[in-house]
C-alpha cells in the first residue's frame, strides 16, 4: 500500500475505533512481569484452571404462599410452635419456613392452624439469602486472604434455593471446614473497673430472631438462651452486681476476641432477673438507620457464623494445582493451533496474503478485545469460556469471509459506490446472523445455570464486538487493499 | 474451489431433500426411543442425573482403578493419552461421598473431583431444557422478522431444527452425554447453523441474477465459512482429546457433528426448499 493510503486508513473512524479498543484492552489485560520476574496478566482464572474448590449448598427451607383468616401474627406464632421451626413473614402473602418440610407434610399443619398453602418452593427469600451471603463472606474473609466468591442463585419468584461458594487455593476438605466453621462467641460481664468475667458461650444461645423495631422506633435483635444459659446469666448478673448497678456492670458480646456489642441491663430485665432466670431477651441498638444496620450486623454476630437455615451440599468440586496448570497449557495450545489452522484454510481459499493477513489479524484482535473485556469485568475464565472464545474465532472468520466474497462478487475491484452497496449487503447478513446468536444465548446469560452464564455472556460480547467494531473496520481495510 | 464439486443444477428439489428427510426421521425415532427408555431425548451425564466425576493422571490401569473403587457405585472409566483417566460414579449418599473424597485425596492428591447432587442435577436439567427451547423460539422469531416471507423462513428454521435433532441423535449413538457443556454446544449450534442458511437465503432472495448462479455462489462462500469453523473445532477436539480435557472434548465433538450435519441441511434441505419456492414463482 502507498504511504498516503495508509495515512488515510488511520483517519477512518472504523479503524480508529478498533485501534482505540485494542489499546484499552491491552491496558485492561495488563501483561507484565511480577516481582519474581514471572510473566503475568490481570486475567482471572476459574477453578478449572487453577487450584481451588467449590461448594454448592441447598437451603433446607421453603417459601410458601398462603392465605389465612386468622390474624397474621397469631397464625405465624402457632405455626412456628407446631412445626418447631422459625417462621419468618416475607410479605403479605408469603412465609419462609426455616426447616425442611415437603408440601404434603406442611399442608396438615396449615390446615389445623386455619390457613391454606397456595404455592410452595424450596429455598429462602431474597433478604435471607443476602444475610446468608454476608455471613459466608464474613466467615471466609476472617480466614485470611483466600480469593473467594459467594453467589446466591435466584430462581423464579425471587426464591433462592442455592448458594455457590468458590475458593481459590484450597482443597475440598479445607473448603468444607471453612464453610462449616463457627466463630467463638462469648458473653462477658464487667466486674470491677475494666475487668470482665465469663458468663456464657455461643452454644447457650438456642435461637436468634431477625432485627425488629419496637413501637417507640427502637431497633433490636431478640435471642433465646438455653435453660442452663439463662441460669448462668442470672447468677452472673446477681453476683457481679449488674442487677443493682447496671451502668457500671455492662454486658459485652465478644466474637473471636472482638467486642461486637456492649450495653447495660435494662431496668425491666434487671428486676425480673432478681426473681427468676429469663430465657428470651433483646439486645437493642437504638433508633434510626445506623441502629438498624447495627442490629443487622449484630444478628449475624449472634449467630457466630451459623447460618439461619440448614444447608445440604448439592454439588462440589475441586481442581488440583497440577491439573489446573495442565488444562491451562492445553487451552493455550488449542488456541494457537486453532488460529493457525483457520489461517491455512483461508489461505487455501484465497491464495492471497493481502487478504489472508488482515483477516487473521482482525480475528486475533477480536480475541484481544474480548480478553480485555474479561479482564475489565474481572470475570473468571473457565474451560467453557475458553471453548466459547475459540468458537468466536470460528464465527469471526466466517463473517469476514462473507464480507470478502460479497465485495469480490463477479470479478474484482468494484467502484466505491458499488463497493459500499455490497458492504452494506454483507453487513445485513452479518447482522441477522449476529441477532440469532445473541437471542439464542440470551436465556443462558439471564438464567443462573451454574457455569454456563459466563460462557453465554462472552459469546454475546464476542458477537457484539464483531458486528460493531472489528467487521466494519475490516470492510474499510480490505477495500483499501483491494482497490490498489 | 477444488475440495469437491457440487452441482446444484443437476438435482430437483425432491431429490435434494430426500436424504436429509430420511435422516431426520431416523434421528427422531432414535430420540423418541431414548426418551422412552431414560426419560430424556439424550442420555444425561452427571451434571443432570447426579453423580461424581474424577479426573486423574495416574499410571494405574483401569483394572487397578476398578479394584481400588470397588466399594463405590462406579459407572465408567475412560482413558486418554499420558495416563489421563476419567472416572464416573453414580449418585451416592453424603457419608459414602466423604469416604470417597478422603480415599481420593489420600491416594491421588492431584485429582480433580466434581460432584452434583441428584436434586441439583434435576434443577439444572429443567433449566437447560428451558434454555434450549427459548433459544430455538428466539432464533425462529429473528429469522421470520428478518425475511418476512413464510416459506424461506420455514426452510431456515427447519434446517436448524434438523441440525439439532440429528446431532442429538448422534450423541446417543456414539455415547456423548447431555451435560452443561454439551448443552452450551447445542445452543452454539443454533447460531452456527443459521449462519450459512441466512447467507444462502439472502443471496437467493435479494440478489439479481440466475438462480443456479446465485446458488453456486452462495455454496462457494458458505462451504468455506463452515470449513473454517470445522477446522477450528477439529483442532480443539484433537488437543482436548490428547490432553484429557473432558468438558472441552465433549463440546468440540458435539460442534463437529453439528457442523457436518449443517452442511447437509443447508445445501440439501434448505437449498431444496428454496429452489422449489423460487421456481414456483416466489422471490424476485
Q: Which ipTM did the prediction report?
A: 0.84
User: What is the rounded distance in angstroms from the CA atom of residue A337 to the CA atom of residue A330?
Assistant: 10
Contacts of A333 in chain B (CB under 8 A): 239, 243
Best residue in A50, A393, A436, A452 for a mutation probing chain B (most B CBs within 10 Å):
A436
Q: Assign residue B26 the CATH number of its domain.
A: 1.20.1640.10
Q: Does residue B284 sit within a domain? A: no
* Same domain for A67 and A30: no
A165 and A194 part of one domain? no
For chain A, 484 residues long, the average pLDDT of each consecutive 10-residue run is 69 87 90 81 82 87 90 88 85 89 90 90 89 82 69 78 85 77 79 82 81 84 87 88 84 82 84 85 85 82 77 85 87 88 88 87 90 87 81 81 79 71 84 88 77 81 89 86 73
The domain that holds B94 is classified in CATH as 3.30.70.260
pLDDT of residue A411: 57
Which domain does A25 fall in, by range?
3-50+320-482
Boundary-marking domain end, from A269, A303, A337: A303
Count the domains in chain A: 3
What separation in angstroms does the CA of A299 have from each of A217, A261, A457, B11, B218?
18, 11, 37, 76, 67
pLDDT class for B284, splitting at 50, 70, 90? very low
pLDDT digits (tens, 9 = 90+) for B105-156: 888 888 888 888 888 888 888 888 888 899 999 999 999 999 889 999 999 9
- For residue B91 the three cell numbers come to 449418585
Domain end, chosen from B66, B99, B116, is at B116
Tell me if chain A has a CB within 8 Å of the CB of B264.
no
Residues A458 and A331 in one domain: yes
Are A174 and A211 in the same domain? no
- How many other β-carbons are positioned within 10 Å of the β-carbon of residue B247? 25
Percent helix / strand / coil, chain A, rounded to 5: 55, 25, 25
Q: What distance in Å separates the CA atoms of residue A401 and residue B123, rounded to the nearest whole number?
A: 41
* B273 inside domain: yes
Cβ neighbours, 10 Å, residue B146: 21
B241 and B192 fall within a common domain = yes
In a shared domain, residues A103 and A209? no
Domain boundary among A249, A276, A303: A303
Contacting residues for B122 by C-beta, under 8 A, at least 6 apart: B48, B50
Residues in chain A: 484
- Please tell me whether residues A404 and A422 are part of one structural domain: yes
Same domain, B210 and B249: yes
The DSSP output letter for A379 is P
Grid cell 487450584 in the structure block, residue: A51
Cα–Cα nearest to B189, from B82, B261, B94:
B261
Whole-number percent of chain B with pLDDT over 70: 95
Which of A30, A20, A27, A96 shows the shortest CA–CA distance to A61? Answer: A96
Looking at the fold, whether A90 and A205 belong to one and the same domain comes out as no
Residue B188 at interface with chain A, using a CB cutoff of 8 Å:
yes
Confidence class for position B1, pLDDT limits 50, 70, 90:
very low
Three-state DSSP class for residue A258? strand
Same-domain pairing of A191 and A295: yes
pLDDT number for residue A254: 85
Within 8 A of B243 by CB-CB distance, chain A residues are 326-327, 329-330, 333
Contact criterion met (CB below 8 Å) for A52 and A168:
yes
Co-location of B85 and B216 in the same domain = no
Q: Give me the helices (H) in chain B, please.
A: 13-38, 46-49, 62-68, 94-107, 118-147, 150-174, 180-206, 211-242, 246-264, 271-279
Interface membership of A225 toward B (CB under 8 Å): no
CA distance A433 to chain B (A): 5
Yes or no, beta carbons of B251 and A387 under 8 Å apart: yes
Q: What is the CATH number of the domain that holds A26?
A: 1.20.1640.10
With 0-12 / 13-18 / 19 or more C-beta atoms within 10 angstroms meaning exposed / middle / buried, residue A89 is middle
Non-local (6+) Cβ contacts of A395 within 8 A are A437, A462, A463, A466, B191, B192, B195, B229
Domain-terminating residue out of B94, B116, B138: B116
The string of DSSP letters for A292-313 reads HHHHHHHHHHHHTT--SS-EEE
- Pair (A333, A470) in one structural domain: yes
Residue B161 pLDDT: 93
Residues of B in Cβ contact (< 8 Å) with A363 = none
Please state the pTM of the whole predicted model: 0.80
Do A336 and A431 share a domain, yes or no?
Answer: yes
B99 lies in the same domain as B192:
no
Structural domain containing residue B75: 51-116
Please report whether residue B1 resides in a domain.
Answer: no
- Cα Dmax for chain B: 73
Number of domains in chain B: 2
Helix H or strand E encompassing A237: helix A227-239
The whole-number pLDDT of residue A144 equals 60
Distance from CA of A425 to the nearest CA of B (A): 9
3-state secondary structure of B87: strand
Amino acid at each position: 500500500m502507498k504511504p498516503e493510503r495508509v495515512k488515510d486508513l488511520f483517519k477512518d473512524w472504523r479503524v480508529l475505533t478498533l485501534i482505540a479498543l485494542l489499546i484499552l484492552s491491552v491496558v485492561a489485560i495488563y501483561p507484565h512481569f511480577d516481582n519474581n520476574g514471572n510473566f503475568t496478566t490481570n486475567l482471572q482464572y476459574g477453578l478449572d484452571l487453577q487450584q481451588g474448590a467449590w461448594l454448592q449448598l441447598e437451603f433446607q427451607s421453603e417459601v410458601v404462599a398462603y392465605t389465612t383468616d386468622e390474624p397474621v401474627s397469631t397464625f405465624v406464632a402457632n405455626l412456628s410452635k407446631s412445626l418447631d421451626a422459625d417462621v419468618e413473614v416475607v410479605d403479605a402473602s408469603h412465609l419462609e419456613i426455616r426447616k425442611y418440610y415437603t408440601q404434603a407434610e406442611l399442608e396438615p399443619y396449615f390446615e389445623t392452624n386455619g390457613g391454606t398453602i397456595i404455592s410452595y418452593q424450596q429455598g429462602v427469600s431474597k433478604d435471607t439469602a443476602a444475610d446468608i451471603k454476608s455471613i459466608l463472606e464474613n466467615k471466609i474473609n476472617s480466614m485470611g486472604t483466600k480469593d473467594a466468591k459467594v453467589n446466591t442463585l435466584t430462581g423464579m419468584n425471587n426464591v433462592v434455593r442455592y448458594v455457590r461458594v468458590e475458593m481459590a487455593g484450597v482443597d475440598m476438605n479445607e473448603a468444607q471446614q471453612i464453610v462449616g466453621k463457627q466463630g467463638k462467641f462469648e458473653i462477658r460481664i464487667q466486674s470491677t473497673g475494666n475487668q470482665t468475667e465469663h458468663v456464657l458461650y455461643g452454644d447457650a444461645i438456642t435461637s436468634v430472631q431477625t432485627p425488629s423495631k419496637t413501637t417507640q422506633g427502637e431497633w433490636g435483635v431478640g435471642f433465646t438462651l438455653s435453660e442452663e444459659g439463662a441460669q448462668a446469666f442470672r447468677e452472673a448478673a446477681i453476683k457481679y452486681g449488674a442487677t443493682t448497678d447496671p451502668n457500671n456492670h455492662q454486658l459485652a458480646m465478644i466474637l473471636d476476641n472482638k467486642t461486637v456489642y456492649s450495653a447495660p441491663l435494662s431496668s425491666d430485665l434487671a428486676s425480673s432477673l432478681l426473681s427468676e432466670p429469663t430465657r428470651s431477651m433483646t439486645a437493642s441498638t437504638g433508633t434510626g438507620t445506623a441502629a438498624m444496620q447495627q442490629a443487622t450486623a449484630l444478628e449475624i454476630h449472634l449467630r457466630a457464623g451459623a447460618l439461619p437455615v440448614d444447608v445440604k451440599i448439592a454439588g462440589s468440586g475441586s481442581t488440583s494445582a497440577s491439573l489446573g496448570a495442565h488444562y491451562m497449557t492445553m487451552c493455550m495450545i488449542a488456541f494457537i493451533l486453532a488460529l493457525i489452522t483457520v489461517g491455512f484454510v483461508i489461505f487455501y481459499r484465497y491464495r492471497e496474503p493481502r487478504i489472508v493477513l488482515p483477516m487473521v489479524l482482525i480475528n486475533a484482535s477480536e480475541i484481544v478485545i474480548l480478553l480485555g473485556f474479561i479482564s475489565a469485568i474481572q470475570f473468571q475464565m473457565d474451560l467453557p469460556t475458553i471453548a466459547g472464545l475459540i468458537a468466536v474465532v470460528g464465527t469471526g472468520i466466517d463473517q469476514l469471509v462473507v464480507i470478502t466474497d460479497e465485495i469480490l462478487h463477479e470479478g474484482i475491484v468494484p467502484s466505491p459506490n458499488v463497493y459500499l452497496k455490497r458492504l452494506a449487503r454483507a453487513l445485513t447478513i452479518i447482522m441477522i446472523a449476529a441477532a440469532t446468536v445473541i437471542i439464542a444465548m440470551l436465556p443462558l446469560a439471564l438464567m443462573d445455570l451454574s457455569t454456563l452464564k459466563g460462557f453465554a455472556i462472552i459469546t454475546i460480547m464476542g458477537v457484539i464486538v464483531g458486528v460493531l467494531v472489528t467487521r466494519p473496520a475490516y470492510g474499510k481495510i480490505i477495500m483499501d487493499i483491494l482497490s490498489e | 474451489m477444488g475440495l469437491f464439486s457440487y452441482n446444484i443444477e443437476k438435482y430437483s428439489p425432491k431429490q435434494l431433500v430426500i436424504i436429509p428427510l430420511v435422516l431426520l426421521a431416523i434421528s427422531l425415532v432414535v430420540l423418541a426411543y431414548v426418551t422412552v427408555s431414560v426419560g430424556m431425548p439424550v442420555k444425561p451425564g452427571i451434571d443432570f442425573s447426579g453423580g461424581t466425576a474424577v479426573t486423574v493422571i495416574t499410571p494405574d490401569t483401569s483394572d487397578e482403578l476398578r479394584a481400588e473403587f470397588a466399594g463405590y457405585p462406579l459407572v465408567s472409566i475412560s482413558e486418554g493419552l499420558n495416563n489421563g483417566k476419567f472416572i464416573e460414579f453414580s449418585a451416592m449418599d453424603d457419608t459414602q461421598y466423604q469416604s470417597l473424597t478422603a480415599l481420593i485425596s489420600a491416594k491421588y492428591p492431584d485429582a480433580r473431583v466434581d460432584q452434583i447432587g441428584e436434586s441439583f442435577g434435576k434443577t439444572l436439567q429443567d433449566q437447560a431444557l428451558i434454555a434450549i427451547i427459548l433459544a430455538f423460539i428466539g432464533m425462529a422469531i429473528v429469522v421470520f422478522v428478518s425475511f418476512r416471507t413464510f416459506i424461506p423462513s420455514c426452510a431456515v428454521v427447519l434446517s436448524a431444527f434438523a441440525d439439532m435433532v440429528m446431532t442429538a441423535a448422534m450423541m446417543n449413538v456414539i455415547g456423548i452425554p447431555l451435560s452443561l457443556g454439551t448443552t452450551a454446544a447445542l445452543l452454539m449450534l443454533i447460531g452456527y447453523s443459521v449462519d450459512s442458511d441466512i447467507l444462502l437465503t439472502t443471496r437467493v432472495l435479494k440478489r439479481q441474477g440466475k438462480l443456479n448462479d446465485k446458488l453456486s455462489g452462495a455454496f462457494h462462500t458458505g462451504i468455506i465459512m463452515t470449513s473454517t469453523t470445522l477446522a477450528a473445532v477439529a483442532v480443539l477436539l484433537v488437543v482436548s482429546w490428547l490432553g484429557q480435557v473432558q468438558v472441552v472434548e465433549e463440546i468440540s465433538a458435539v460442534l463437529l457433528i453439528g457442523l457436518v450435519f449443517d452442511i447437509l441441511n443447508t445445501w440439501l434441505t434448505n437449498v431444496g426448499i428454496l429452489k422449489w419456492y423460487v421456481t414456483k414463482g416466489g422471490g424476485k
